[in-house]
Amino acid sequence: MGHRVLVVDDDPTVSDVVRRYLEQAGCEVELAADGADGLAAVAARRPDLVVLDLMMPGIDGLEVCRRLRRQLPQLPVVMLTALGEEADRVLGLEVGADDYVTKPFSPRELVLRIRSVLRRTAAQNGPPAEPAMLTDAELSVDTARRIAETGGMPLALTVREFDLLIFLMRHPGRAWSRTDLLEKVWGWQFGDQSTVTVHVRRLREKIERDPANPDRIRTVWGVGYRYDPLDGGAAR
């Protein structure tokens, strides 16, 4: 893959396994043993992606993710969570993780998840593309430069939030199930549908005038979600 990945985990066995598989996939890997070291590593040399354990002594993964999101909202974060702890996974997504893998996990699955996230960030580091603007009233999205603004003010969107917004704006008026969105936006054939629910909630908080009564991303009961442009149609 040719990317630089920071792995933050207090379990040296897990870190070593992840490091070996990522290096086999062509990544440059740096290890950090706790949250404080992880934040320091990011400050010293920004990675292309962070693999972040949820449960760590001192500064835990949730707080590390919160701080990263405030400082570097577009830095991809893949979180490692305990198997079966849905509340922990939801919390990780709430604070801005782009993806998660549950422990015990398959290292190959983790590499595939990392590849998926990095593919979606490649446009930010590649050569400039032709402008491709999506607009809806005061909301504008430059898909080539991966910049979203509302009323001229930039929006701090994570990788997945940006991808979800683009997808919905490009398909106005159509209802999508959570399963559909997992496949179309995340590239998953199966997965926890709460991932979609959390990302929709976070996106509403950033683009809706009243997130509790959304005008754009509407809930279609029994189905999923539908994007209704305020101006009657999103431009591609």
**Residue 119, amino acid:** R
pLDDT for residue 66: 92
Q: Please calculate the CA angle 137-158-2 and round it to the nearest 5 degrees.
A: 130
Please give the Cα distance from 114 to 50 (Å, whole number): 9
- Which residue, 218, 207, 225, 200, is CA-closest to 139? 207
User: Count of alpha carbons within 13 Å of 46, Cβ hemisphere only?
Assistant: 8
In tens, the pLDDT along 79-117 reads: 988 756 667 777 778 888 888 888 888 888 899 889 888
Q: Percent of the chain at pLDDT above 70? A: 90
What is the DSSP pairing of strand 28-32 with strand 4-8? parallel
Partner residues linked to 134 by β-bridges: 141
DSSP H/E element including 175 = strand 175-177
Q: Alpha carbon 88 to chain centroid distance? A: 16
Q: Each residue of 205-236: pLDDT tens digit?
A: 999 999 999 999 999 999 999 999 997 654 44
Distance CA 169, CA 65 (A): 27
Quick: pLDDT tens for 163-183.
999 999 999 999 999 999 998
What is the rounded distance in angstroms from the CA atom of residue 220 to the CA atom of residue 145?
Answer: 31
More confidently predicted of 130 and 37 = 37
The Cα–Cα gap between 203 and 164 comes to 8
pLDDT confidence of residue 132: 82
Q: What's residue 38's pLDDT?
A: 96
- Tell me what pLDDT residue 196 has: 92
- From residue 13, how far is each of 3, 16, 235 by CA, in Å? 22, 5, 50
Q: What is the pLDDT of residues 110-156, one digit of tens each?
A: 998 898 888 876 655 555 444 588 999 999 999 888 889 999 899 99
Task: Give the residue carrying structure tokens 């972040």.
Answer: 52
